[in-house]
């Protein structure tokens, strides 16, 4: 049985360093090197939780085939998935940019777990280094010089808005206080969101400035600004009752129905709609991921937990990482993020979006009972 201790439910989002292609020479002219797709921002695009293929209550061995970091016996190596960024930026081998297929010659992941907008800005314009790395826009400058950058996918704003604190508060209200979180958290979000969207817009401006300085015309590449999926289902779609401790001890989704409904149908859409507005104002493409995990969330009735009799499968398993506050399997920072299967789905969404006009706005959804190949686009809400 899993039991989540009440000590620090902290779930940071993600951002990072150059993983593929190398920095190259600063003097290289744009559009002379291999084509590149670049991801920038936080954990929802860096690959946080890519170690996991579903969730299992088994804490030993391969955890019923869910742990991609398993070596043998009781030996685990997260670097199998995250490389040198294990325990930090958590850039996984299945991160969105690596799962998008052949949309460019090289995939470069600059995103990092825990990044806020200031970690994207250029150092010369208020940017701040993070986890020992230069601001992401400054890293982008090196990539733009050595590669022909065609696509820049950006996920940012969640940490500025306090996603981790929202999750922590709502979990505590279920575990300890026997109260709801949505009223207080909605007020807090409303107080912050205008300023946060300003920072999201500035992140886009910073990317544009870097690319223009490198000699790129705005029309020679595209920026895809994306929103966030909900890792938990609506209350009525949760396979565990809220009247006992099964959501906490078995499912890893300790949230009340009313708070779950608020997160799924109010918070996530509110953020998506505001990010869509930023994309429109800045003239960049928008990818709406609010429904990407529908039916595949942690504890969703339409999905199954992995066990000795229910194998890990992209068609039946959950596509998001549960809350494991005891860190009996991996790190707490992996909680509430798209897992390996979810990242394959996000990569497919990006590939589909890149096939659309550069100024388009699309939502991406999954097909029930299918794997990531069943992802499809709809007009953004």
Domains of the chain in start order, with CATH, are: 14-379 (3.40.50.1110)
Of the CA atoms within 13 Å of residue 138, those in its CB half-sphere come to 15
Report the C-alpha dihedral over residues 5, 11, 17, 20, rounded to 10 degrees: 90
Q: Confirm if 206 and 137 have CB atoms less than 8 A apart.
A: yes
- Say what the pLDDT of residue 13 is: 43
The two beta strands, 222-226 and 112-113, are: unpaired
- Say what the pLDDT of residue 325 is: 82
- Say what the pLDDT of residue 14 is: 38
- Say what the pLDDT of residue 32 is: 76
Structure tokens at 374: 């069943």
CB proximity list for 138: less than 8 A, separation 6 or greater: 122, 123, 127, 210
DSSP per-residue string spanning 167-181? HHHHHHIIIII-S--
Mean pLDDT for back-to-back runs of 10 residues, the chain (381 residues): 40 38 40 92 98 98 98 98 96 98 96 98 98 98 97 98 95 96 97 98 98 97 98 98 96 98 98 98 98 98 98 98 93 96 98 97 98 97 90
Model pTM score: 0.93
């Amino acid at each position: 049985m899993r039991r989540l201790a009440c000590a620090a439910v902290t779930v940071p989002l993600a951002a990072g360093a150059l993983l593929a292609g190398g920095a190259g020479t600063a003097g290289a002219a744009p559009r002379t090197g291999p084509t590149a797709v670049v991801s920038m921002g936080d954990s929802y695009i860096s690959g946080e939780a890519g170690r996991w293929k579903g969730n299992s209550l088994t804490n030993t061995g391969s955890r019923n085939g869910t742990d991609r970091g398993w070596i043998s016996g009781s030996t685990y190596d997260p670097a199998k998935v995250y490389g040198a960024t294990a325990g930090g930026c958590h850039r996984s081998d299945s991160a969105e940019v690596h799962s998008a297929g052949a949309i460019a010659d090289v995939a470069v992941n600059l995103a990092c777990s825990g990044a806020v907008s200031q970690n994207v800005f250029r150092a010369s314009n208020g940017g701040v280094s993070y986890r020992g790395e230069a601001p992401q826009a400054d890293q982008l400058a090196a990539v733009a010089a050595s590669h022909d950058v065609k696509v820049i996918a950006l996920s940012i704003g969640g940490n500025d808005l306090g996603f981790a604190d929202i999750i922590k508060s709502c979990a505590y209200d279920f575990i300890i206080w026997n109260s709801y979180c949505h009223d207080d958290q909605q007020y807090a979000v409303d107080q912050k969101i205008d300023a946060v969207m300003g920072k999201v817009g500035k992140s886009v401006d910073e990317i544009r400035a870097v690319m223009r300085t490198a000699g790129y015309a705005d029309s020679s590449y595209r920026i895809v600004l994306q929103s966030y999926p909900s890792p938990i289902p609506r209350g009525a779609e949760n396979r565990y009752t809220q009247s006992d401790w099964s959501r906490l001890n078995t499912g890893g989704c300790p949230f009340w129905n009313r708070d779950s409904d608020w997160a799924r149908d109010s918070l996530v859409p509110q953020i998506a709609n505001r990010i869509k507005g930023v994309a429109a104002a800045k003239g960049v493409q928008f990818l709406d991921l609010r429904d990407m995990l529908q039916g595949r969330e942690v504890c969703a009735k339409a999905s199954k937990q992995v066990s000795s009799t229910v194998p890990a499968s992209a068609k039946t398993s959950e596509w998001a990482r549960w809350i494991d506050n005891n860190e009996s399997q991996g790190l707490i920072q992996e909680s509430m993020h798209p897992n390996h299967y979810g990242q394959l789905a996000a990569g497919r969404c990006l590939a589909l979006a890149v096939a659309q006009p550069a100024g388009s706005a699309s939502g991406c959804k999954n097909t029930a009972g299918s794997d990531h190949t069943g992802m499809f686009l709809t007009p953004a809400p």
